[in-house]
Amino acid sequence: MHNIRTVFRREMQGYFNSPMAYIFLVIFAVVSGYFFTNTFFLFGQSDLRVLFDIVPLVFLFFIPAVSMGLIARENNIGTMETISTLPLNTYEFVVGKFLAGFCLILLGLAATSIHFFTLVSVGTNVDYGAIFSGYLGLALMGATYTAIGTYASSVTENQVVAFIIGVFFVLVFFMLDKTLVFVPHSLAGILQFLAVDYHLSNISRGVIDSRNLIYFFSMVGFFIYLTIQTLEVRRWK
């Protein structure tokens, strides 16, 4: 746990010592804010549904961008060699990195809370439960995408390649339930269960089902496991 915290802290320092984190947070706030406020006063509805619809689309590109450098950069500048010769378990390194990326995503989400306060101050009959479950869904989706991005970052030392691989995987899991009409009926159920959007829409509706939670946690666990294996295998090559 101590080592995970140390890796996490270094990564956060890395984000905030460079313009990376600030650029991410500002652009994320501006993009999501623009789409939200554009229609918020038009419809006159006391909910954040527009926000919860737009953020998953923003995540598709933002999270691979945030996570592309997590491990690829270490491989690129050679610090992976220093890291690998420290008494540090690979899982501690990967989990620390993942948590740092995830934390930045949570900070991005926290920045959108300004819209929540706007809603509370001008809206009526605010459904706090729906807002809570909406944020929970986005956080779980963010964790899943960050895990996928961390894995993409571990398979290459080129950050641009890591970004492209990350976007590809994220898009696949995002698009799965939109292709159901094209696949045989027997596969449709499986593909739907694998789709991120399917589970997100369940949670966003306010239904916090253990199946959805298990799905998100399994996805995070699976991609973190893949990342650890990718790094371990490299030592034996």
The correct pick among 26, 30, 39, 81 for binding other proteins (CB under 8 A) is 81
Q: Does position 58 bind other proteins by CB under 8 A?
A: no
Select 49 or 73, whichever has its Cβ closest to other proteins.
73
Q: Does position 1 bind other proteins by CB under 8 A?
A: no
The correct pick among 37, 46, 84, 202 for binding other proteins (CB under 8 A) is 84
The correct pick among 87, 121, 181, 185 for binding other proteins (CB under 8 A) is 87
Q: Does position 77 bind other proteins by CB under 8 A?
A: yes
In angstroms, what is the minimal distance from the CB of 108 to other proteins? 21
Residue whose tokens read 């899943």: 144
Stretch of 3-11, 27-35, 138-146, 214-222 contacting other proteins, by CB under 8 A: 3-11
Q: Does position 125 bind other proteins by CB under 8 A?
A: no
The correct pick among 39, 79, 113, 218 for binding other proteins (CB under 8 A) is 79
Size of the site for other proteins (CB under 8 A): 24
The correct pick among 41, 44, 85, 124 for binding other proteins (CB under 8 A) is 85
